[in-house]
């Protein structure tokens, strides 16, 4: 099993404790996770989602221009759940079907500033696109 996955599973419960603590303090927070994640099916997640002013929204990150560095006309679909606490829900935005998707599998060679490297697509797609950063910042009033 992947080390990151093991650490993620160990800290999963803490995520919901923190979000609950922020909610109790009337704070504001957002948390995103892959839509297919088992974490979203946990009882503690459902309990959190049952609280007032806690919302879950689905977005497709292709709608926020998440694209591979080697093929700018394609997009990573990456269905994602965004849970917001203490604020309005994150606006749902789904794929508009106007582009092709590429799988989050494998890697490609890249040369930037004369330096060659291997880019893993799963790692690349783990970085928020600028449009998604702007939307999250707008949600949090920044």
Interacting residue with Zn ion among 19, 62, 66, 104 (CB under 5 A): 62
List of residues 6+ apart from 2 with CB closer than 8 A: none
Place of tokens 């799963």: 122
Stretch of residues binding Zn ion (CB under 5 A), selected from 4-12, 38-46, 61-69, 116-124 = 61-69
Shortest distance in whole angstroms from residue 103 CB to Zn ion: 13
Told to check if 95 binds Zn ion by CB under 5 A, we report yes
Nearer to Zn ion by C-beta: 51 or 95?
A: 95
Tokens of 66: 């998440």
- d(C-alpha 103, C-alpha 100), whole Å: 10
- Report the nearest approach of Zn ion to the CB of residue 30 (Å): 22
Q: x/- contact string, 63-82, with Zn ion (CB under 5 A)?
A: ------------x-------
Q: Which residue has the tokens 């799988």?
A: 103
How many other CB atoms are found less than 10 A from the CB of residue 86?
Answer: 18
Total interface residues for Zn ion by CB under 5 A: 3
- Tell me the backbone φ, ψ of residue 141, rounded to 5 degrees: 70, 30
Binding site for Zn ion (CB under 5 A): 62, 75, 95
């Amino acid at each position: 099993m992947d080390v990151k996955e093991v650490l993620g599973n160990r800290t999963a419960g803490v995520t919901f404790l923190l979000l609950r603590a922020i909610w109790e303090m009337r704070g504001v927070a957002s948390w995103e996770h892959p839509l297919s994640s088992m974490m979203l099916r946990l009882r503690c997640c459902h309990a959190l989602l049952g609280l007032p002013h806690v919302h879950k929204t689905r977005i497709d990150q292709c709608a926020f221009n998440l694209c591979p560095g080697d093929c700018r006309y394609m997009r990573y679909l990456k269905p994602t759940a965004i849970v917001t606490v203490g604020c309005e829900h994150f606006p749902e935005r789904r794929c508009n079907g106007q582009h092709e998707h590429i799988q989050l599998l494998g890697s490609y060679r890249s040369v930037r500033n004369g330096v060659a490297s291997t880019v893993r697509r799963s790692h690349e797609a783990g970085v928020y696109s600028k449009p998604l950063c702007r939307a999250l910042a707008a949600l949090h009033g920044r």
